[in-house]
Amino acid sequence: MAIFRRAIKTAAPTIDPRIRERIVFSSTVKVPQKIIELFEIVFSKVADQIENDKITNLPKVNCILTRKREVSIVLGDEEVAICCTLCIYPIDKWLLKYSEIQICAIITEELCHVFWGIENEYDVCYKVWEVVRRISPEVKIEELYNMDEAKRLGRK
């Protein structure tokens, strides 16, 4: 079984039962309680949106929290190859740099890429906004994204 190098035992969010079997949560850093709470909110609202959109056959995803913006994977002795989907969250500056609703959007975006299969950076903004409005109905998309930048990134 592959492992993430430097993974530690730390407090982790409770994952909504509707998506629990699809998410593996790991961390290389002690996770602040506020970040745990935000992940729990996002997991719940993503599950609500998945249910609303009637999405089935969700892929499995590994959510990894890290400080150094890098992750190292070590294969088990018997493994000759692995295939996995990763959402890597470098959380070290989140609480200093972003509002809580922006952090929710950051978490949500990677899950939207995976669960809805949205590759385009511009298109995913709208699905993220749809999910995040379940948390904060009044939030405007411009509070979450620079749409000109998202449009530029979406063209690549």
27-82 pLDDT, tens digit per residue, is 888 999 999 999 999 999 999 999 999 999 999 999 999 887 777 777 888 888 88
Query: What's the angle, vertex CA 79, arms to CA 75 and CA 82, rounded to 5?
Result: 70
What local confidence, expressed as pLDDT, does residue 154 receive? Answer: 72
Domain parsing of the chain, residue ranges = 3-154
| pLDDT for residue 3 is more than 80 | no
- pTM value is 0.90
118: exposed, middle or buried (C-beta count within 10 Å: 0-12, 13-18, 19+)? middle
